[in-house]
Amino acid sequence: VQLQASGGGLAQPGGSLRLSCSGSGFMDYFSIAWFRQAPGKEREGVSCISSNGDRTYYAASVKGRFTVSRDNNKNTVYLDMSNLKTEDTAVYYCAARDQADVCGVFGISRGSFGDFGQGTLVTVSS
């Protein structure tokens, strides 16, 4: 399945944004993860959701502020981001793995996922 992230933009500190990850086909059997890469930094795992949405995972830096969800009828996964901080500024990517709960086994690991496709830029600035 090919994925496309969208919904990025400019937000003020403390603000909110919703990112979407749309799939080219059925996503029902895929774990989906969000990663981000800030300038000069390595790509890091942000959040992950199991294939049926019953399990979610978050990096410590975003826990309590970000919420991942999915609508398999729409082949879309969402990342709701609130209380944004300047350090959340990055290009955000989504990625898929054809395993029901890969993050439950390996964590939000870049090595567990395949192609990331195009990302969407989130800039948090006043």
Report the 10 Å Cβ neighbour count for 69. Answer: 14
Residues forming beta bridges with residue 5, ordered by sequence position: 21
Q: What is the C-alpha separation between 8 and 106, in angstroms, rounded? A: 27
Length of the chain measured in residues: 126
pLDDT in tens, 65-107: 999 999 999 999 999 999 999 999 999 999 999 999 999 999 9
Q: Do residues 108 and 46 lie in contact, with contact meaning Cβ atoms separated by under 8 Å?
A: yes
For the stretch 10-64, pLDDT in tens is 999 999 999 999 988 888 899 999 999 999 999 999 999 999 999 999 999 999 9
**Higher pLDDT among residues 12 and 118, named by residue:** 12
